[in-house]
Structure 1
Amino acid sequence: MFQSLEVFKISSAMASHAATRQAVIATNMANADTPGYVARDIADFKTALDAAGDGTSMRATRTGHLSGGLGMHELSPQNAATPENPNGNAVSIEEEMVKAVNTQRQHERALAVYKSSLTILRSVVGRG
């Protein structure tokens, strides 16, 4: 009956994705004054999930792939719409802050889905 609970896998992967993206955003903000630094980002969760194959589960393709580390996603330079600073840096603190808030909301949403599903499962089993 409970062999495949995809909602837990997906919500866990979504929370892990949000944590990884927060780390990337924090790195961008920490390097806002580094000469020549170009802000990086990772693909949004939907794109990462679709790239996983069948669209319902993430697949580990190498060691450490789904462990929540930065190896989980490919970092790519952002298309900087803002002009570079005189030192060649293209990080916009304002844009990074907006992305950080959106990523925090994604993480909270993933946890809410996980907790709600766990409550439903407990009710079904009779331990809620």
Structure 2
Amino acid sequence: MFEKLEIMQMAQAMARHAALRQNAVAQNIANADTPGYVARDTPAFSETYQQADGRGMQATRPGHVGGADRLQVALTARREPGVMSPDGNSVSLETEMVKGIEVKRQHDLALAVYKSSLNLLRASLGKG
């Protein structure tokens, strides 16, 4: 029952988005020397969450109409002017390190939202 709260779902979606973005950063760093490799990233969490939220009817149980319809976020090529190396690689290690820090902050924020929500829920039940 309590795992269906919107704030819990938002925190979980934010943590999943951070994990996907961390995967993209790791792939970019691993392919920093691969000729022709184009750096990849995901759309911002706010954009993907707004898309998921603006769908109209919402499935609250697996049997509901449209319950299998899930928003899929994919890695997309990130082209930044002036970053391309002579061999066609567009990975900048400095940019990836900064993005890695941003992802850690996003994940920490998701965990903080989840923890605060649990503390509020416990306090409202008189358990905390």
TM-score range, shorter chain: 0.7 to 0.9
Preserved CA contact (<8 Å) 2:79 2:90 = no
| TM-score of the two chains, using structure 1 as the length reference | 0.82
More deviation in 80-89 or 17-26? 80-89
Moved over 4 A (4+): 1-4, 57-60
Look up the match of 1:25: 25
Give the letter aligned to residue 93 of structure 1: L
Look up the match of 2:103: 103
Unaligned runs of 5+ in 2: 60-66
The structure whose Rg is larger is 2
Unaligned runs of 5+ in 1: 66-71
CA distance in 1, matches of 2:53, 2:42: 18
Give the letter aligned to residue 126 of structure 1: G
| TM-score of the two chains, using structure 2 as the length reference | 0.82
Look up the match of 2:39: 39
Q: Alpha-carbon deviation of 1:2?
A: 5.5
- TM-aligned CA distance change 1:78 to 1:60, over 3 Å: farther
What is the number of residues matched between the two proteins?
119
Look up the match of 1:126: 126
Q: Alpha-carbon deviation of 1:79?
A: 2.1
Percent identity over paired residues? 48
1:81 lines up with 2:89 in the alignment: no
Q: Alpha-carbon deviation of 1:82?
A: 2.8
Give RMSD over aligned pairs.
2.4
